[in-house]
Every structure is written in C-alpha cells, then in structure tokens.
Structure 1
Amino acid sequence: MLAIVLTAFAAFQVATPVPARIVAATAPATTPPPVSTVAPPHDTPSDEYVARARRALGEGNLELARRDFVIAAALDRDAGLLPVAASFGLSRVLFSQDNSRDAAQVMNALARDAAERGDDNTEACALLDALWLNRDAKQWARAERDAARLLELRKRNTLTAETRKLIADRTS
C-alpha cells in the first residue's frame, strides 16, 4: 500500500509542470504587485536582456531569467543608468526561488542608488518592495529602516501621485 502511495506521489510531482512557488509568486495575494515605472525615453543597453529574462521567467526558466536580469543590471550600471527594470525583475526571480533575503538586498541596492541620484520615486518604489521582502525574510530591523525611510519620502513633495497611490494601496 505504501509503495502505491509513493508511486502516485512521485507521478504527481513529475506531472506538475510549474513549481507551486512560481505560481504563487505571480498571484497578487502572495506577492507585492509589480511596480510600474516610467520607461526611459531612449533605448537602453539592457533592453534585449530584460526582454529575454522576462520571456524566460514566463516560461518558468528561473536560472536563465536570473542570469539575464543580472547581465541587464550590469549593462545599465555600466551605462550610468539606474537598473530599474532589471532590479525589479531580478527580485521577482529571487523571490520565486524562495530567496526573499537576496531579493530584498537587490531592492535595497536600487533604493540606495536612486537616493544617490535624487530619484525619490524610484527609491520609494524600491523601498516598498524591499520592505515587503525584508518582512518576508524576517529581517525586522532592515524592514523598520525601510519603513522609516519610506515615511520620510512621503513627507516630501517630490513623489508623483502615482507613487503616492501605490504606497497607499500597498501599505493600507
């Protein structure tokens, strides 16, 4: 009887095309919604890699998606740009791989880079995801720092209405 149960269980695992964590990572109830950012007015060196990474992510090939998002981020940084799309994509992949801690680090790095450039909207959006990911990774002190910085940014008059609405929707 035990052999039958184990055989059925093994058959179910083989027949499952996408791990449950990947499906859960795309569900709005379990992950933060994607942050919409303004696309750069010109083509960036990373566009091809971001597109390939998104395609790989859609196909469930997390390793290829991760690699291409990392390359895209490096290309953007080398070009003197903030790696917004690559960072948000990479954090999604890392979260899908049950790696909230590294995903939060990616978002915190983007927030830090945006702060250095005075891009309050990108910093706020990155902090919003970092806050959620740090809480998921049980990094309470880091999450508290993210929340404090996010509150500080909200007090300024530099955030767009879209960013303010996103923060309100996700923190209420």
Structure 2
Amino acid sequence: MPVSSSQAILKWNFSKILLFCFAASQIVCGCVMVGETKSKGDNKISLFVDSKVDSIRLFTSPSLLNFDNQQGVDGFLAKIYAVQNGTPKPVEIKDGKIEFALFEGVVEGEPLQVWRYEAIDLKTRMSNSRIGIVYDFQISWDSKNKPTKKAAVLARYIAPDGREIRALPVVLSLEP
C-alpha cells in the first residue's frame, strides 16, 4: 500500500525533531555549571570547570641572552606551563601568581632578584601552543644584582590559599 505524501512529510518532520532533541540533549549533558548555584545571575555554562594548578614546568633559553646590545648578558627567556592533574594539556592560570627568583650558582639563600606576575598580568603573556597554554617571559636583570658565574632560576606558583608549587630549577652558564 503506497504512503501518501502528507504521511511522508509528517514522518520526515518527526525525524528532524527527534534528531534535534537528541543533539540538544547531548550538548546540554556535556556542559557543567560554573559558580555557586545559590546566587542568581552569576552562573554560566561552560565545558570546563575553573582550573587548578597542581604543578608547573619551567623551560628557559639554553643560554643567557644579551637584550640591550651592550657588552655582557643581561637576561633569559622563560616559558611556564601550568599542569592540572587529570588534564592532558597545560591549563590557564586564573588566580595566584608566578614568581621567578634568580640565584648565584645554586638555589639557596637569598635570591639576587625576584620577579612577580599576578594572574591578571599573566593574560598578556599567555598564548596557546600545540601542547596547550603557555606563558612567555623575557626577563632582564638589574646590572647591580646579576650573577657572576652561573645563574640559577627558580619558578614557583603561589596559589591564593598560600600553596606554593615549585618547578625544577634551571642553571644557566654565563660563560660559553
């Protein structure tokens, strides 16, 4: 028995509605609420919850660099990757701060210099690479407080709750 054209259209519309409902339910189920549910208007739907930094990785230029074209080295390039356990790619630092400390030779005693970057300042240094979010720094030291033989660089993340997470220190030679 042949199907009338009105029945065929009805079946087609029903299939489209069913497909749309299925796709919409998959999207909604994949989202999570971010923020307190008690307050009104502050919630937003996001595919990821706020990131928490569990460790950081420090990568530096292989040697010290001359940024001012005057005799002698005066800094280095650094990259920081923030890692959250259970997340395959580095994450954004949304709060807390990153601190670099420069030491003579080894990481002990008082640092020669310290550089601090608050989370709000990190946004200008943030970029997205193939492996995830990276923070780029060009760090120049004061000529009065510079290392003489080797520069030991320590990077650490200080969370708002006071937790301190240190990257493995990097030692750079001043001499070729």
Q: Same fold (TM over 0.5)?
A: no
Higher relative contact order (CA 8 A, sep 6+): 2
Normalising by structure 2, report the TM-score. Answer: 0.27
The structure where helix makes up a greater share of residues is: 1
Normalising by structure 1, report the TM-score. Answer: 0.28
Based on CA coordinates, which of the two structures has the bigger radius of gyration? 2
The structure where strand makes up a greater share of residues is: 2
